[in-house]
Structure 1
Amino acid sequence: MNILLIEDETVIGDMIAMYLTDEGYTVKRVYNGFAGLAALDSFHPDMALIDYVLPDINGIEVCKEIRKYSFMPIIMVSMNTEVSNRVEALLAGADDYLCKPFSMKELVARMVAQLRRYHQVQHHEPVVSQEMANEFIRIDHEFRTIKVNGKEVEMTFSEFEIMKLLSNAPGRVFSREELITYLRGDTTMVNERSIDVHVTKLRNKIEKDPKNPQFIKTVWGIGYKYVLTKDEHKTLKKK
């Protein structure tokens, strides 16, 4: 696996690079955000580890730029433990957030969980293109796209996975714990707030009125469900 490490701190960056190399990963170490973005085409990473604070542009901006082109897992690392910073990273498209200092074993465990989830989705998609369709939203599983009123909207890996899971089982209530396990794997420490953040951002992209959602409903005290309205219909389309 190719790992892009964007970390300007010499000691921790060298430590991460050495440990991951010993674990069998191929690591491309860069020291700023622009160098990280430039490495995307030549290095072809399977995952990115991004420091929140970088000397040129911050990790949030790097994460947003990567998400324009790739669904690869992104883990952001930071000295900052504030909830607001975690939320900002998740909204920018990060799949996980790890606070410094951390153990190398925990970092690898989170990486394995993210890579496992990502490659399960990539390699176990059905040969048939499944499409959930209604007058407002269209989801194409094969090409991993979502269109709202005919216009494609940008989705992070986690947002698309939540939408796919909920819409594939309309009416079923998924607990936050189930969504965490589905997205991250049961070895990664993620709190329920991150799921709420992903759902909030997803609603802002697909709902006509996000504050009064029509499709993704909250089941208080449990989790979320996808609701088919009376005007909707589902189709299975073979290409």
Structure 2
Amino acid sequence: MPVVLIVDDEEDLLLLCRNLLTREGFRVVTARDGEEAVWVLRRIMGQGTLDLVILDIMLPLRDGVEVVRFIRSQKNIGKVPILALSAVSDADWKIRTIEEGADDFLAKLFSSRELVARVHALARRVEKERDSGPMPKARYDLGDLVVDTYRYETRIDGREIRLTPIEFRILVYLVSHEDVVIRREELMKVLWGESWEVDEHNLNVHIWALRRKLGEKSDSPRFIETLRGTGYRFRSSALARMQEGAGKPASSV
């Protein structure tokens, strides 16, 4: 039975989410503030497994972004999917949360159907990864950029950069299809499975956060090219030189 941790300081919402997911076949653990969430996470790391975290961002004692950061820093649970919740519509909060490692973001007030759909999409992704086994081992040496799935590392100019699990998966997929245009729909299926309940804007934010960490400039993408209305392409050095020589600047997110 998959285990879900729900963290929210609103008692009614916590109860609603717990009842919904219990009926869907999940075992639910709860916490009501950021400090309690970290305490529960430490207990889970020592005693069992965790399959998903649903986390309110505006929490007392320790906010949700700090909890996301804590989860991603832990070896045992560092790759667990995180669905962030927030009543705040400020885009900066969403970007900051996803940059720190949240996989998906759901604004309050959401419908029961939407919550269940998002949870199942993330759960299917975890199940698919378990069935297919670990990520194929490979090392991509691309001049200034090195992507190493053996060590789960990304380096630019010899300096390691910290990517979230979903950012790393995006980068590996694009790099392994070098110079091939990857449609947005294909990338969303790779990341979230066959569910069409995922907000496309979340993909935009993940790509934006990844490119920012890679040192991309909005007017001159170094690695990831955006083809508006189509998708993305990881540019090889040869392709980049060809485009620059032809005077065709790439578009950007």
Flag whether TM exceeds 0.5 (same fold).
yes
Aligned with residue 110 of structure 1, among 105, 114, 118: 118
Closer, same or farther: CA 196–98 of 1 in aligned 2, 3 Å: closer
- Does residue 28 (structure 1) correspond to residue 29 (structure 2)? The answer is yes
Q: Which residue of 2 aligns with 1:90?
A: 98
Alignment of 1:1-239 (within 5 A): 1-43=2-44, 44-69=49-74, 70-125=78-133, 129-207=137-215, 211-230=219-238
Greater CA drift, 176-185 or 46-55: 176-185
CA distance in 1, matches of 2:233, 2:201: 17
CA distance in 2, matches of 1:113, 1:94: 14
The one-letter amino acid paired with 2:145 is I
Structure 1, gaps ≥5 residues long: 233-239
CA distance in 1, matches of 2:176, 2:184: 17
SS at 1:37's partner residue?
helix
Could you tell me how far 1:187 is from its partner in structure 2? 2.1
SS at 2:237's partner residue?
coil
CA distance in 2, matches of 1:211, 1:60: 29
The one-letter amino acid paired with 2:25 is G
SS at 1:224's partner residue?
strand
> Is the 1:68–1:154 Cα contact (8 Å) retained in structure 2?
no
Could you tell me how far 1:188 is from its partner in structure 2? 4.5
> Is the 2:179–2:235 Cα contact (8 Å) retained in structure 1?
yes
- Structure 1 segments (4+ residues) deviating >6 Å: none
SS at 2:155's partner residue?
strand
Closer, same or farther: CA 124–149 of 1 in aligned 2, 3 Å: farther
Structure 2, gaps ≥5 residues long: 241-253
CA distance in 2, matches of 1:208, 1:103: 37
CA distance in 1, matches of 2:82, 2:111: 18
The one-letter amino acid paired with 2:6 is L
CA distance in 2, matches of 1:127, 1:217: 24
Could you tell me how far 1:119 is from its partner in structure 2? 3.5
Q: TM-score, normalised by structure 1?
A: 0.84
SS at 2:180's partner residue?
coil
> Is the 1:126–1:142 Cα contact (8 Å) retained in structure 2?
no
Q: TM-score, normalised by structure 2?
A: 0.80
The one-letter amino acid paired with 1:153 is I
CA distance in 1, matches of 2:236, 2:58: 43
Could you tell me how far 1:122 is from its partner in structure 2? 4.5
Aligned residues: 232
CA distance in 1, matches of 2:197, 2:135: 33
SS at 1:170's partner residue?
coil
CA distance in 2, matches of 1:73, 1:36: 15
CA distance in 2, matches of 1:41, 1:5: 15
Closer, same or farther: CA 186–86 of 1 in aligned 2, 3 Å: farther
Higher-RCO chain (CA-CA 8 Å, sequence separation at least 6): 1
RMSD of Structure 2 on Structure 1 (CA) = 2.5
Could you tell me how far 1:162 is from its partner in structure 2? 0.9
Closer, same or farther: CA 146–65 of 1 in aligned 2, 3 Å: same
Could you tell me how far 1:218 is from its partner in structure 2? 1.8
CA distance in 1, matches of 2:135, 2:226: 32
